[in-house]
Amino acid sequence: MSPRRAIVATLTALLLVGIMWFLWPRHEITEKESSRGPARAASAGGFAADKKIAPPIATETSHLADQLNSPKGNITADLHIVGDVLENFRSNFPRDGNPVGSNAEITAALTGKNKLGYAVIPPDHAAINRNGELCDRWGTPFFFHAESGRHMSIRSAGPDKKMWTADDEEFTP
């Protein structure tokens, strides 16, 4: 075999190995596997059908929402705080953009029920009602409307606690 053919054959073999490695199926580590440790998980074949590991619990507490609904603030400041919270969430999930769904679903994502377990707002924040909704200073759940994947308008019902009236306040960062 000529040296040129040997080089072509070697490069072809390396290319095939690379493609196989890239396309080889991978699995997620399950709770049962992680409790076995590396030696026992490997001996079990590494393919258990147990439930998946829960996302990590956030170790730091965010202070972005500390002043939300503070007696020293006002609804304009509160809306800006919620806007900052949403921006912080988006910056940690750039592919996902805004959290989606109802107020309770958005609040759940902001309080750590997301794939990273990252809580932008503490789950026990005073602005979260019994239904898990983020509320304005009058106790009315905010209305979130995704303008796009990167922009979310936030509306407060205002002091009359009725949405879509003259005293509503809205902020679109």
Q: What is the pLDDT of residues 31-77, one digit of tens each?
A: 444 444 444 444 444 444 445 555 555 456 688 999 999 999 999 99
Residues 31 and 98 in one domain: no
The total of structural domains in the chain comes to 2
CA 157 centroid distance within chain: 26
Q: Which domain does 33 fall in, by range? A: 3-43
How far apart, in whole angstroms, are the C-alpha atoms of residue 12 and residue 85? 51
Q: Give per-residue pLDDT as tens, 80-110.
A: 999 999 999 998 888 888 899 999 999 999 9
Shared domain for 20 and 88, answered yes or no, is: no
Cα–Cα distances in angstroms (integers) from residue 28 to residues 31, 47, 53, 86, 150, in the given order = 10, 9, 9, 29, 30
Query: Do both 111 and 38 map to the same domain?
Result: no
* Residues 22, 81 share a domain: no
Going by C-alpha positions, the residue among 97, 94, 106, 75 that lies closest to residue 148 is: 97
Which CATH number characterizes residue 151's domain?
Answer: 3.30.700.10
- Whether residues 96 and 13 share a domain: the answer is no
The pTM for the full model equals 0.66
Within this chain, do residues 34 and 93 fall inside the same structural domain, yes or no?
no
Domain-located, residue 58 = no
At residue 54's C-alpha, the angle toward residues 142 and 111, to 5°, is 20
